[in-house]
Structure 1
Amino acid sequence: MRISRLYSIALSLLLPLTTFAAVHHVPPGPADAITRAIAAAAPGDIIQLQPGTYHGTVRVTRSGEPERPLIIAGIASGTTTKPVIDGGAEPGSKKRNQAFTFENVSWITLQDVEIRNAWTDAITINDSSYISILRCDILETGQHAISARGDRSHHILIEACKWTQDTRVYTTWDWAELHHGVFKHYNGGIYGGGAAAGGAVIRHNNAGYGFNGLRWWLGEATGAQARHQSNIEIYDNYFHHFRDNVIEPENFTWNLHVYHNRLDSCPRGVFSIDGVAGGEIYIYGNTGRWDQDGATEVRAWTVYKFADYNKKETLNYPLHIYHNSFAYGAAFARGSKVRKADDHLRHFNNAYTHQGDSHLGLIEWPGQDCQFDHDISSAPFQPDVSAAGYETHGIAATDPKFVDPARNDYRTAPDSAARDAGKIIDGFTLWHTGRAPDAGAYDGDQPVYGPPFLYREPPGGALYKERPRIVRIFARDTTLAVFFSTPLEPASLTPKTIQLKAGTTPLTVRSARFPLADQTQAVLLELDALPADATQLDITFATLPRGLNGEPGTMWAADTRVVRIPANATLTGLMARLF
């Protein structure tokens, strides 16, 4: 192992660093050498891997510090080839051949590595927090790509990674054997595991040819367990060719946001809310289509799958299903002998092209406190829909005219009946550009955005305190609406404490104000100018803002993309109050 020194420059999403960081160079060979380098490292240090293969398991037992993570880096300067961590195992259950294990650590970044032959889970995270997995290729391996457990496991970022299991999971093997038989070691997901606290951010990933996309489970949904796997964001991912379900929380989840994902060729239910207590769950702006593409299933069953009604837990708080666009089978399908449903559904402004003889569904729907309206369906509504008082403003037997689903273009044609067919949804709609919101995942040519993520304490009590982090930036002219994950102490963010750049262009912040006393997670920054081509900002803080909960802010997982509010938009709800 070779150690060199370099002066730490300011990272675009971190506070400027003023200390020296060591770079620990580890040549290919036994993975134990990486473990030893980590044990010798200090916060802010870089464990630099080289092109080649490392055999065995890397054990991460040393922590970084807030805003100074310990970094395990795959691609060195001047190279483009990711080093390979080979766990050395054949597929199977109850194996301990992980590529990486994180044990009782925090503030670690793992980036730009390839993982193979790591079973049963490729990466395990136990009682660890602020773990970032970036641009890693986890190929043909893992019941879970990342498995998290423990009350102290929270704030796990999975970003721009690729994960596959085996093409035969989708094309060849028997579903029952995969679900609970000889191939059950494939029954997992890119993120999953048991009773982790939550706080996960899963974005910009490409995951496919597996059994489930994401699956986490808890033994019970009451008492102490009613606080795990909470406050999770899943957005801007491409999920495809999954044999079972893509998004599958089990038993309990809390404050789950699933939006702007592409979900293709998943035959047995894209979303499985099967015996899940908790809420609220937001599913919006997602798109997808069914193509058999080698699957043993000839047709897709349903988009939303629920448990047999009154046989398992039901949601305690609403499930919001808004502005999704799908070209699949049924939206809500019955089982062959039972009624599958849930309570507290809010289903508005969605657009469906149903394949074959499928339709919206909702036949003998027994769920309580449910609302369905302003949706557009290519098939006629069944008699049960109108008999239940649903879809009084819905549009049936009408093609929503998606531009080109095969190329992932779910905008609707200018003459589509989906245009202006939606409703302003209380607590959700931020703006629209026509007479009313469009039905489907797009309003005009822009994806529909809902309220930014906001941390909510689960009913069983918090397992950690949320550090304020940037979750969304909206721009209107030269004003930025910057949203944090929890309310701020307004005095802690001023023009003197924040610096912005668009590329290499510094931006002058003239004022920072909090227009809503009851919504101090939102701050308006008035700029002298904002370049028209600015799509992302570099943000640094002289001092980090502080939350009303007393916690310092963080740039961990900050989403600094700029979302432009159209000039012709009619602002509603929270946006109308802010501006």
Structure 2
Amino acid sequence: MRIVYVSPNAQECWIDAAWRSTKSLDVAVKDSMPGDLIRLVAGDYPLSEPLVFPRSGHEGAPIILRGDTGSQLKVNNKPDYSVSANNPGRDRFAAFKLIDVAHIRIENLSIIRSWPSAVYIENSHDLCFTGLDITAGTYAVYANGVTTQAIEITQCRWTQDDEIWRAIRWDDIHDGNIHPDGKAPFRYLNGAFFGADDITGNVLIARNDIRDCYNGVRMDVSAENLAAPIGSFNRDVRIFDNNFSYIRDNPVEPEATAVGWWIGRNRFYNCHKLFSQDGVRGGFWYYFGNICWFDSRPGPEGDEYNGGAVFKLGKGGTVPQPDFISACFHNSFFLRQKYIKKGTTRGLINARNAIEHADPSALPTDFMPADQTFFGDADGLQLSAEAPLPVIFSGDLANHATYPAVFDRYPGVLADPRSAQTPLFEDGLAGRFDLRRAYQTPYDSNLAIPMPDGTVWTGHQDQWPGAITDGKRYGGPEFVAVNLEYVRELLNTRD
């Protein structure tokens, strides 16, 4: 491995007990070769033009760009009003552009105010990003292109805008009819920590700190690819062990189609709607071992988009959605919002969660309605036990006053309810999710969850409800990749 030293002034520097020649950052990237370690000494690196990797690394000999502690890429450009929940494309600015390349790692850097993206990826694979501290931007990382896959983003931090949770109206970010031209004044915030369009998948997003932003992970499919076979895009996405805080819209939001999404052991703190399944085909989505709590309500005074929910479901349509099961099991929720507000779904296995609704009289005024409901009204929410993809709520522990009676309007959906009349957790408001002793009761049978390769995973019966048993976080199943032949045959058989 060749070490290439980089400094802000590209002059000789005292590095590791010796005077060493250094290059400028742009020259080091332009000249990079497989096996290079590009090492940035601490300092500020003003950046006015994107850094474009001209060639790939090799398997076993990647190109690594690594910053010493204190390395900062200072972009400081202005928000791009033309980008709002859309693909920024290769022509717009990004601190790093990785186009038609592979086997590249970028590590341990701060990237400051790079609009619309800090990292833009197109038709590239085997890319790793770790230890990045990214401030501002519509997207921290955006990936595009049908050959894009194998992306890992770990131990990064993104803060989009620290006023987004309380000071900016939701509909001043999301385009809509409230504005004369249909375009919201803060539309450039309608992005995500990781955004994507038309990528194959195989994405790992783990141990990141994602905060003060509009969305966490949002992956879409363009109109020209909507008719592609299920599983062609947004496949095998793992979202593990992250902190999501002050998320104004959705921490997890697949769009159009998604198969094999694993959302496990994350911490959701002050998030609006956790899991979006709105209008999404596909399935085999797994939510497990997550904890969710709040101590704040979003939006300035007068903003009506402050209710939220655990699930955001679809509005129905000519094609029933999703195509396969989803499973939400052994999570702990301390809620001010409804579990599900409205919409329709099928194939949802909601099992062995601990669902505590806060006491509104013990909270500051207007944190939650005094009569907060478990679900939305009956006309707005459709849950059915009909085959081939019945909705099943089984073994959940909940303290809402209407639980389990709220399920009377959904015949056959509920099984083995565990109701409570007191708080479930040691202290939900403080994020202390150990169950109170009265509810520390394991189950009488194992839990069976279908996997996306045709196998069935078995969860042991000795677990308590929720995400924590005897002080230990629920680990859940090991990741199983989608077997495309299996899921497509399953879909054809059902049709």
**TM-score > 0.5, shorter chain as reference:** yes
User: Which residue in 2 is equivalent to 1:319?
Assistant: 326
Aligned residues: 427
1:86 pairs with 2:68: no
Q: Secondary structure at the match of 1:310?
A: coil
Residues 272, 330 of structure 1: CA spacing in aligned structure 2 closer, same or farther, 3 A cutoff?
A: same
More strand by share: 2
Q: Given that residues 203 and 238 in structure 2 are in contact (C-alpha distance below 8 angstroms), is that contact kept between their aligned partners in structure 1?
A: yes
1:46 and 2:41 aligned: no
Q: Counterpart of 1:367 in structure 2: which amino acid?
A: L
Counterparts of 2:212 and 2:479, CA distance in 1: 29
Other-structure match for 1:490: none
Alignment partner for residue 370 of structure 1, among 365, 369, 391?
Answer: 391
Counterpart residue number, 2:428: 405
Match of 1:25 in 2: 5
Given that 1:290 and 1:300 are in contact with CA atoms closer than 8 Å, whether structure 2 keeps it comes out as: no
Alpha carbons 1:275, 1:312 under 8 Å: kept:
no
* Letter matched to residue 253 of structure 1: A
Q: Say whether residues 1:453 and 2:479 are aligned partners.
A: yes
What residue number does 2:417 align with?
A: 394
| Alpha-carbon distance, 1:256 to partner | 0.4
* Cα distance change of structure 1 residues 370 and 460 upon mapping to structure 2, 3 Å threshold: closer
TM-score (norm 1): 0.69
Closer/same/farther in 2, CA of residues 300 and 100 from structure 1, 3 Å limit: same
Matched to 1:416, the amino acid is A
Q: Structure 1 pair 459/54, CA: closer, same or farther in 2 (3 Å)?
A: farther
C-alpha distance in 1, partners of 2:159/2:240?
Answer: 18
For the residues of structure 2 that align with 1:397 and 1:330, how far apart are their CA atoms?
A: 18
Give 1:151-170 correspondences, 5 Å limit.
151-170=146-165
Aligned to 1:431: 460
How far does the alpha carbon of each residue in 1:76-134 deviate from its partner, in whole angstroms, 9 at most, with x for none?
Answer: xxxx3132242533453347221111011111110011111211122101111111110
Would you say the 8 A contact 1:84–1:115 is kept in 2?
yes
User: What is residue 301 of structure 1 aligned with on the other side?
Assistant: 308
Aligned position for 1:440: 466
The alpha-carbon distance between structure 1 residues 289 and 311, as it changes in their structure 2 partners (threshold 3 A), is farther
Relative to structure 1, the CA distance from residue 47 to residue 191 in structure 2 (aligned partners, 3 Å threshold; closer, same or farther) is: same
Q: Say if 1:65 and 1:163 are closer, same or farther in 2 by CA, change over 3 A.
A: same
Letter in 2 for 1:270: L
Which stretches in structure 1 are left out of the alignment for 5+ residues? 1-20, 463-579
Give the Cα separation in 2 of the matches to 1:265 and 1:441.
Answer: 18
1:106 — aligned with what?
102
Deviation, 1:373, is 1.2
**Counterpart for residue 58 of structure 1:** 51
Q: Which amino acid aligns with 2:266?
A: N
% identical aligned pairs: 23
Which residue type is aligned with residue 296 of structure 2?
Answer: Q
Where 1:52 maps in the other structure, the secondary structure is: strand
Q: 1:397 to 1:280 in 2, by over 3 A?
A: same
Q: Which residue type is aligned with residue 118 of structure 1?
A: S
Equivalent residue, structure 1, for 2:185: 182
1:251 aligned to 224, 239, 256, which one?
Answer: 256
How far residue 169 of structure 1 moved from its aligned partner, in angstroms, is 1.5
Gapped regions of structure 2 (runs ≥ 5): 11-22, 176-183, 361-370, 385-389, 449-455, 489-495
> Is the Cα contact below 8 Å between 2:294 and 2:429 reproduced in 1?
no
1:281 equivalenced with 2:276 (yes/no): no
Q: Report the TM-score when normalising by structure 2.
A: 0.80
User: What amino acid maps onto 1:292 in structure 2?
Assistant: S
**Aligned-residue offset at 1:33:** 4.0
Secondary structure of the residue that 1:303 maps to in structure 2? strand
> What does 1:416-495 correspond to in 2, within 5 Å?
416-421=438-443, 423-426=445-448, 427-432=456-461, 436-458=462-484
Q: What CA distance in whole angstroms lies between the structure 2 residues aligned with 1:461 and 1:60?
A: 37
What SS does the corresponding residue of 2:150 show, helix, strand or coil?
strand
What is the rounded CA distance, in whole Å, between the counterparts of 1:327 and 1:186 in structure 2? 28
Q: Deviations over 1:492-540 (max 9, x none)?
A: xxxxxxxxxxxxxxxxxxxxxxxxxxxxxxxxxxxxxxxxxxxxxxxxx
Q: How many angstroms apart in 2 are the aligned matches of 1:185 and 1:35?
A: 28
Cα distance in 1 for partners of 2:236, 2:204 equals: 9
